[in-house]
Chain A
């Protein structure tokens, strides 16, 4: 280059130099070459990796802990189950008050400053737990006159009446330990004792597990209702059946759970940077934790994506001379 260097300001010169360098580094290599066999390399690599995967599988197997069922839960914690079922009937459970995409409430609606994408996108998978978790499953039971009339009484009552029944029931059952058995009669609770003891009996046989996924059709592949019902115990009772297992397995969000796996298998260690943000303030106590973490991780992912264009960051590898080790042969034979 024979540019009149004296007239050009230094930073322009540097930029031109960088551009020229990038263009040169993008051109075919004119230096020494070596023999190479891409197909041979790929074949050897495949055989080695396949053998390694089979060997690891034979050595360590893989985890497969059976799912938790409502049947196990209802048998282990009859009162705990009934307390959650009551909250479904009352419309106070986490699912019942969730908000989009499940219903029009706002209990679990998160926002980033003034913006809530969650609310913006609205209800996609309508979920009404009083019906879906309690009344509809009960209606599938073989006709038992007492239950049939309890359902009719509940359905024809006004909201205020329903509220006073559930309040009376809650007063009795709310104070029980999770493993206690439930009373069959509660004064002032109307049809609620009948409804919830029938639901408990149903759950204890496993019939509720089936009813929650059937959606009234023969085929089913959607477990939203069953998992949300179980999940309401995880969000409302620290020592619920599900929580006890989850905590023992270190799978709670507050235990960096998304990285972990049941048993002693590795989980998803690549999620460390996602998991980490849930552990630090303000996310570890914020109602908006999820959207905050999603926002942070989105920004970091974009930074990784556009790294080659970010001044400073993209120069780190030039300053830290690990490349002198990687290409040591080349530098030795072709010193600067």
Chain B
């Protein structure tokens, strides 16, 4: 016999200017079921992609090619050393060879870097910073805070929306890097660290959901345990164990995201931005015999 269960479960949710605390509208198309809210997110991302594709970028200001040779600092570093071979000197030379300061913090770019397509990497990075700052504030006050204080609830809202922005910008970033085939020119590792960022971020979001200590976390943990168990991960991670979930969410996994993002962004700087598909031959320098190995 069906029993009616009231959805009004007591606690008043701290409302935003627009109240979303009511049942969503769901679309059913064949086997597809999607909520209006998720559909809006997906439509917004596609619209962002199209807008970034079509809207003209700010007019580039041309600069002459810099006089300095990028290999020069490496040579200088070598010359400045005492002459005694040291590990420290070797590491310094390596750093300067792959990432001379002008490459790490550039004040010029190839002229073709003139499209909104390029801003989604930085947007992802800055959204991640907002996620981390708001997450640190939540961690500082402990897991009960955001349920019982409206300040806590607001910080939680910032955390949630920063995550939506982070995942959204990353998705559009991924789409663009695919259509630009940005792995060309020995940039495969950049693409691959990007994909790892994406996968680890999904896992990070998951542990966040099950660390909420609310209705969502109960149900998501209960549902997820079967996929975990069946794949063997369940022998290491028990999603029903709140303590384990929250520890993973605030230590190991964010550390992994940060390391991956750092490697990813440094790789972009090491290789420089990928040239356009079918760039003119005279714009691409032919590799010197020894540097072809380095680029590989």
Contacts and interface: CB of A to CB of B under 8 A. Distances in A.
Interface of A: 22-39, 41-42, 45-46, 48-50, 52-54, 56-68, 76-77, 80, 98-102, 108, 110, 117-118, 120-122, 124-125, 177-179, 221-224, 227-228, 230-231, 234, 239, 241-242, 244-246, 248-251, 253, 255-271, 279-280, 288, 290-291, 293-294, 301, 304-309, 314, 317-318, 320, 322-323, 325-327, 329-331, 333-334, 336
Contact of B205 (A26, A268, A290): A268
Nearest to A315: B181
Given A64-B153, A256-B34, A266-B35, 10 more contacts: A25-B185, A25-B284, A26-B187, A30-B284, A36-B108, A101-B235, A221-B244, A224-B238, A259-B38, A308-B191
B7 interface: yes
B110 A63 contact: no
A121 B243 CA distance: 22
Given A46-B126, A53-B130, A120-B232, A264 B22 contact: yes
6 contacts: A62-B157, A223-B242, A250-B26, A263-B21, A266-B40, A323-B179
Interface string B35-54: 11110111000000000011
B114 A34 contact: yes
B37 A265 contact: yes
Nearest to B240: A224
Contact of A270 (B24, B117, B153, B167): B167
Given A28-B272, A256-B34, A108 B229 contact: yes
A248 B22 CA distance: 11
Given A244-B3, A268-B205, A320-B179, A228 B240 contact: yes
A30 B130 contact: no
Nearest to A25: B185
Contacts of A245: 5, 7, 215
A224 B13 CA distance: 26
A263 B284 contact: no
Contacts of B134: 53
A33 B109 contact: yes
B235 A29 contact: no
A208 to B, nearest CB: 15
B24 A29 contact: no
Contact of B227 (A61, A290, A327, A329): A290
B86 interface: no
The 10 closest A-B pairs by CB, nearest first: A221-B243, A25-B185, A31-B283, A61-B16, A57-B157, A308-B183, A26-B185, A117-B232, A34-B60, A177-B1
B179 A263 contact: no
Interface stretch (B75-83, B90-98, B253-261, B285-293): B285-293
A52 B129 CA distance: 13
Interface string B114-134: 110101001101110110001
B24 A314 contact: no
B3 A59 contact: no
Contact of B126 (A50, A98, A110, A234): A50
B208 to A, nearest CB: 10
A41 B14 CA distance: 35
Interface in B52-67: 53-54, 57, 60-65
B293 to A, nearest CB: 10
Interface string B214-228: 111111111110110
A224 B239 CA distance: 8
Contacts of A248: 5, 7, 23
Contacts of B84: none
B68 interface: no
Interface string B7-32: 10111011111111111111000011
A24 B187 CA distance: 12
Contacts of A307: 178, 183, 191, 195
A49 B179 contact: no
Contact of A60 (B157, B192, B216, B273): B157
Given A59-B17, A234-B222, A263 B22 contact: yes
Nearest to A301: B199
B282 interface: yes
A314 B181 CA distance: 7
B235 A124 contact: yes
A244 B4 contact: yes
B158 interface: yes
A98 B199 CA distance: 29
B236 interface: yes
Interface in B249-280: 271-280
B216 A63 contact: yes
Contacts of A224: 238, 240-241
A42 B126 CA distance: 7
Contact of A266 (B123, B164, B191, B222): B164
Given A246-B219, A336-B278, A260 B35 contact: yes
Given A42-B122, A61-B153, A227 B115 contact: no
Nearest to A112: B230
A246 B215 CA distance: 9
A99 B234 CA distance: 11
A161 to B, nearest CB: 33
A230 B14 CA distance: 27
A300 to B, nearest CB: 11
B74 interface: no
A300 B177 CA distance: 18
Nearest to A52: B165
B109 A34 contact: yes
A271 B164 CA distance: 13
Given A23-B295, A264-B36, A118 B229 contact: yes
A265 B215 CA distance: 14
Contacts of B136: none
